[in-house]
Every structure is written in structure tokens, then in C-alpha cells.
Amino acid sequence: MTGFATSVIGCKCEAAIECDVPAAETPDGRPGVSVLLFATDTANLQTRLIERIGQTVMTCPTTACFDGLPDATERLSVGRALRVFGDGFQASKVIGGRRYWRLPVMDGEFLVQEDFGRATAIGGGNFLVLGETAEGALEAAEAAVRAMANMRGVILPFPGGIVRSGSKVGSKRYKKLVATTNDAFAPTIRPLTTSELPPDVNVVYEVVLDGLDFTTIATAMRAGITAACRPGIRAITAGNYGGKLGPHHFYLRRILAGELAP
């Protein structure tokens, strides 16, 4: 459900597990996981949901799939598209004002909700961990990721939560490219470009966050940045992109001081 979903540009969506959901909180009383999926427009989001639920959740032993945003007023129809896999043997039922589809499969039935909630959210939150050594920088970034894991309302779409191929908007060389390597933070080409790396920094890792709202992302960033403050880390900063990439600005110093509202 969340594989090959690191970047809306290259994968059409970004997705990851938000948190485990204990049996007491799921609709069918079984242990669950909550997934958040981000896309750049609603039609695309719907297509991604249908194909990913159909290919990876419906196929998987014992699963059912429920909406996790019941209060969202905008609804995307998903179960209706999947129902035809039942080849006429499917059935639907309305419970508590929501429609559910039952598709016969080889281990019983796949139960899937008719529609799923959509909300306006925030993608591309990030911070950069600048370290002296490869080992130290990676450990610090991993500690950051672990400190943010299982938080409600936020996901880290990259595998392991960490990116090493940070990018800048556009290109100096290739006019058509929308994103190329963040050469200002690439240590091996320090002498060849206008580097922003401090003298003792040899490795940089980026942590990317998508979240449901500003405060959730800021709270996660505060926990992650604090955990990344380990020996050998020289600086923690963020991709700025000239302040032009989206309406939200996360000021790291304010966040660390506890200002978690926009």
C-alpha cells in the first residue's frame, strides 16, 4: 500500500504508515494500521487509492479496509470501483450511514468501505541533518525518525524516513528538469559549486514529512530534531527553496522553542 510512494512527482503519490491502530479502536476489533496517502489533486488521489487498495490490500490475507477520516466532508468513491472484482457475487450494506462492500475471495470476504475521506494537508516538511561522519549522520537521522514514528497525523514517505538525494527546484544545466541534486549540500562537489556546507560537515541527510496540519508537523519536527542532536552533528537546517514552495513556513528555532502553531 505504501511502497514506491516516495514523491508525488515520481510516484504520483506519497504514502506511509501513520501509526498502528489497536484492536479496540478499529471498526472490526482487530489490530490495524493506519495509512496516509498524499497526492496533488483529488482525481489522482482517488485513482491511487483504488489501484493500491486493489493490488495490495485486497490481495493480502485477512485484511479489511476502512476509512480513517470519517469527519472529512469530501468523499472519494473507492469501493464502487473495486466491487466488480466480485464478478456479481459481491454485496453491499449500509451501516451507520456508510456503505460497505463485501467481495468474495478465497479466504472469505474482503470488506471495503465505499468511500474514503479527503482533507487538505501539507506535504514536503523537511529538515537536514549535517554531520561530520557518514555513520554519525545516519544514526542521528535514524534517531530522529524513530522519535517521530507512530505519531498521529504525520508520515515520512521515504523508505526508512531518510533521503540522501536532496534536490533543488529546477536545474542549472538542463532547462526542462523540475528538480535536480541539491548541489549546495553535496559534499563531493564542494569546490565546484556555491556550497552551503560548514567546514567540518561531510554528510547530510534529509528527513521529509507530510502531515494533516501545521501543528502536527511542527510537533514531529521538534521531537525529531531533538533526537538528532547527537555527537558529531554540526548543524540542523531545512530546505528553504527561496520560501516559494508552498504557503507554509516552518521556522526551526521557533519550533524548538515550542511555538507549534502556524
Q: Does 218 bind a copy of itself (CB under 8 A)?
A: no
Per CB under 8 A, 78 contacts a copy of itself? no
Q: Which of 37, 52, 101, 124 binds a copy of itself (CB under 8 A)?
A: 52
**17 part of the interface to a copy of itself, by CB under 8 A:** no
Query: 168 in helix, strand or coil?
Result: strand
Residue 180's nearest CA partner among 168, 190, 192 is 168
Could you write out the DSSP letters of every residue in 189-220? GGGGS-----TT--EEEEEEEEESSHHHHHHH
Q: Is 156 in the site for a copy of itself (CB under 8 A)?
A: no
Per CB under 8 A, does 173 bind a copy of itself?
yes
Minimal distance, residue 96 CB to a copy of itself, in Å? 23
Q: Are 144 and 59 in contact (CB under 8 A)?
A: no
Cβ 252 to a copy of itself shortest distance, Å:
15
C-alpha cell at 246: 508552498
Tell me: does residue 253 bind a copy of itself (CB under 8 A). no
Residue 2 in the binding site for a copy of itself (CB under 8 A): yes
Please, what is the angle between helix 134-148 and helix 214-228, to 10°?
140
Q: Is 1 in the site for a copy of itself (CB under 8 A)?
A: yes
Within 190-209, the residues that bind a copy of itself by CB under 8 A are 192-193, 203-206
Closest approach of a copy of itself to the CB of residue 215, in Å? 11
Instruction: Please identify, using beta-carbon distances, which residue of 11 and 252 lies nearer to a copy of itself.
Output: 11
Examine residue 88 and tell whether it contacts a copy of itself (CB under 8 A).
Answer: yes
Give the list of residues 6+ apart from residue 261 with CB closer than 8 angstroms, or none: 214, 215, 218
Cβ(33)–Cβ(20) under 8 Å? yes
